[in-house]
Amino acid sequence: MRRSVGRNVSFLSVIVVLGSFGAAAPAASAPPVPPPKSPVAVGYGGAVSSVDADASAAGIEVLRHGGNAVDAAVATAAALGVTEPYSAGIGGGGYFVHYDAATRTVRTIDGRETAPRSADASLFQENGVPIPFNDAVTSGLGVGTPGTPATWQKALDAWGSKPLGKLLEPAERLARDGFTVDETFRAQTAANQARFADFPASAELFLPGGQPPAAGSVFRNADLARTYRTLGRRGVDELYRGALARDIVSTVRKPPVDPAATRVVRPGDLTTGDLKAYRALHRAPTRVGYRGLDVYGMAPSSSGGTSVGEALNILESTDLSKAGGTRYLHRLIEASRIAFADRGRWVGDPAFEDVPTRELLGQRFADSRACLIKDDAVLTSPLAPGDPRDPARCAWGEGAAPTTYEGENTTHLTTADRWGNVVAYTLTIESTGGSGITVPGRGFLLNNELTDFSFAPANPAVHDPNLPGPAKRPRSSISPTVVLEHGKPVLALGSPGGATIITTVLQTLTGHLDRGLPLVEAIAAPRASQRNSPTTEIEPGLWNSPVRAELEALGHVFKANPEIGAATGVQRLPDGRWLAAAEKVRRGGGSAMVVHPSGRS
């Protein structure tokens, strides 16, 4: 989104030198001047790609002053918490994938939110009946223990080179001095106006004068600036054990609703003990081989790595580089359909569920499922899952289940540094605006991530691995991905978009690796998203294309979706330069930057 603090990149360099790296920052008196914004940048010294120019600039300045890709990712994420508060922030969670150039290894962090320890499978049921989804969204009941601050600290402890406090300074200044509101920010605020108005802290922050901020106005968040300063000085334990933890718990357990509001806002059962017990977890990444490359992703509790990996394994037997546009999309859609059928049956929090991750990623299982795909027909949805532990050719089991809804407003960032380290990091508060509940005096929204659980079994006849449980992590579709060749990075990418994240990453990977599209064009290409549903969602570029009629003749049924995902990525070019790529149009266009720009490739 194009929401920018009043600085261009070179001026921001001066600000960071004075503010983040030594002296006091200047007063915020000059009118905002948006920094330059481009969907592609090429050069040396490292790269950052995100949806927001201010956030990307914060990461670039960390790289310019000796920080590495992890440091830059944390600084960028913190800035996104200011300019993208309806998508991400310290009230949410996410998944962090890191490539270490020195050891040529990929490691990941699961920073997913967790349910209260009192939760059970009936968390979202009353009298044995699931409550309405929208009631759960705007409630304390849907709030999970935030994982984002713990993720930042765990990443910095393992791979970072700068202290958290230093990395939060650019975001703190951005919150204090403000950024320019764009039309997307205004529209998202307007879409949440009724919810925000019911919570005095949200209304005061996001509805100045009772209305959404006008495009072109300056938006400031002094409370969040103070919160970042507190975390920088006292550490993230302040959110898990200190006064901030107590504020979060009291907000969840007794949501501060306007007395005049008619909305029924259910309280949650989060406790200070839940926050104290929270841990971001190191996990082994998923890995599959594809076209001679190694594709690494996020293991459960996310279904991203297993689903993208299974779909790639299914597609491996088809030469997509020679397939026509119709056959390519047909195969892509069907592989996605199958992968979603299998994830619905098998993937959940591995602390609670026996997830057959290795078998799901096995080529034997993929081959047993790939043979279901025919070039002249479409599989029925919802498709029943296969059995990865006992794969039988072209067979499937019982218990087909539809894919449950996941909120689509998340954000993704990708960073790289001069030493060759890479980060792909997706973070979220779930729905646009999360729970709608701002922690009073703290300047950030709480997530509604627990609504990613199944409210009741998706198919009562079959075990559902995504039912709530005590301290359980809801299944996610977040898919930060790193691709290596002979141990060295080729590219890294990810996207927001709920369950469409998986299909966006899959289509972008195959568009670039198989179809030969430049990374920025693979990101920009019109998307299709099939998630084991009778209909496949497609963007206008495909809806208005002759390919649509050709696919419909095969039996595909489509539903129009104006916008799917908002990907960002980085690519290592053969000459050693970094290419950063982002959206050209979606969400107002993204922001790709490099430390030392050079000629475009």
**Could you read off the pLDDT of 82-99 as tens digits, one per residue?**
999 999 999 999 999 999
Asked whether residue 549 carries a pLDDT value surpassing 80, the answer given is yes
Strands 4-5 and 179-180, by their bridges, are antiparallel
Distance CA 313, CA 315 (A): 5
The closest alpha carbon to 301, from 566, 447, 88, 113, belongs to: 113
Nearest CA-CA partner of 112 in 472, 439, 437: 472
- List the structure tokens of 123: 């968390």
pLDDT above 70: residue 17: no
Q: Which token pair is 284? A: 């082994």
340 or 32, greater pLDDT? 340
The more confident residue out of 577 and 13 is 577
pTM beyond cutoff 0.95: no
Lowest-confidence segment of 125-134, 327-336, 402-411 by average pLDDT: 402-411
Dihedral sign computed on CA atoms, order 515, 521, 527, 529: positive
Q: In terms of DSSP bridges, do strands 286-290 and 558-560 run parallel, antiparallel, or are they unpaired?
A: unpaired
Tokens representing residue 468 in the block = 């709530």
Residue-wise pLDDT tens digits, 54-75: 999 999 999 999 999 999 999 9
Cα 70 to Cα 488: distance, rounded to the nearest angstrom: 17
The pLDDT of 369-374, averaged and rounded, is 96
447 contacts: CB under 8 Å, gap ≥ 6: 91, 92, 93, 113, 142, 143, 144, 146, 428, 429, 430, 434, 435
Mean pLDDT of 179-196: 94
> What is the average pLDDT across 438-453?
98
Residue 106 has pLDDT above 80, yes or no: yes
Distance of alpha carbon 26 from alpha carbon 354, whole angstroms: 55
Positive or negative torsion for Cα 308, 368, 531, 584: positive
**Higher-confidence position of 408 and 31:** 408
Residues 295, 233: Cα–Cα separation, whole Å:
38
Token reading at 183: 């039309």
Least confident residue range of 10-19, 115-124, 206-215, 571-580? 10-19
Is 28's pLDDT higher than 50?
Answer: no
What percent of the chain stands above pLDDT 70? Answer: 92
Residue with tokens 């002094």: 222
Q: What is the mean pLDDT of residues 106-115?
A: 98
Q: Which two tokens stand for residue 8?
A: 């261009």
Distance of CA 317 to the CA centre of its chain: 29
pLDDT value for 402: 66
Q: Which residues pair with 39 in a beta bridge?
A: none
What is the predicted pLDDT for the residue at 399?
A: 72
Q: What integer pLDDT is reported at residue 406 of this predicted model?
A: 66
Model pLDDT for residues 221-242, shown as the tens digit of each residue:
999 999 999 999 999 999 999 9
**428 pLDDT more than 70:** yes
How far is Cα 591 from Cα 601, in angstroms, rounded to an integer? Answer: 17
**Is the pLDDT at 494 greater than 90, yes or no?**
yes
Name the class of domain 286-406+475-495+502-597. alpha beta
User: Burial, 595: exposed, middle or buried (Cβ in 10 Å; 0-12, 13-18, 19+)?
Assistant: buried
Residue 367 has what pLDDT?
A: 97
Kindly list the catalytic residues: 410
**Across residues 193-209, what is the average pLDDT?**
97
Query: DSSP string of 65-92?
Result: TT--HHHHHHHHHHHHHHH-TTT-STTS
396-410 CB burial, b ≥16 within 10 A, e <16: beebbbbbbebbbbb
Q: Please, what is the average pLDDT of the chain?
A: 92
Residue 421 has pLDDT above 80, yes or no: yes
Distance between first and last Cα of the chain = 25
**DSSP tag of 570:** E
Sequence-distant (6+) residues with CB within 8 A of 259 are: none
The pLDDT of residue 405 is above 70: no
Q: What is the pLDDT of residue 32?
A: 57
Domain ranges in the chain with CATH number 3.60.20.40: 286-406+475-495+502-597
Question: Residue 23 pLDDT > 50, yes or no?
Answer: no
The torsion angles phi and psi of 581, rounded to 5 degrees, stand at -135, 145
Predicted confidence band of residue 184 (pLDDT cuts 50, 70, 90) = confident
Q: How far apart are alpha carbons 286 and 313 in whole angstroms? A: 13
* pLDDT for 18: 32
Apex CA 518: angle with CA 590 and CA 478, to 5°? 55
Q: How much is the pLDDT for 146?
A: 98
CA gap 195, 363 in Å, rounded: 47
For every residue of 193-246, which 3-state class applies, written as one string? Answer: HHHHHCCHHHHHHHCHHHCCCCCCCEECCHHHHHHHHHHHHHCCHHHHCCHHHH
Q: Given a cut of 70, is residue 5 above it in pLDDT?
A: no
Using CA atoms of 56, 428, 75, 495 in order, give the dihedral in degrees to the nearest 10. Answer: -40
Assign 508 to helix, strand or coil.
helix
pLDDT tens-digit map of 277-327 = 999 999 999 999 999 999 999 999 999 999 999 999 999 999 999 999 999
The side-by-side arrangement of strands in the sheet containing 218-219 is 4-5, 179-180, 218-219
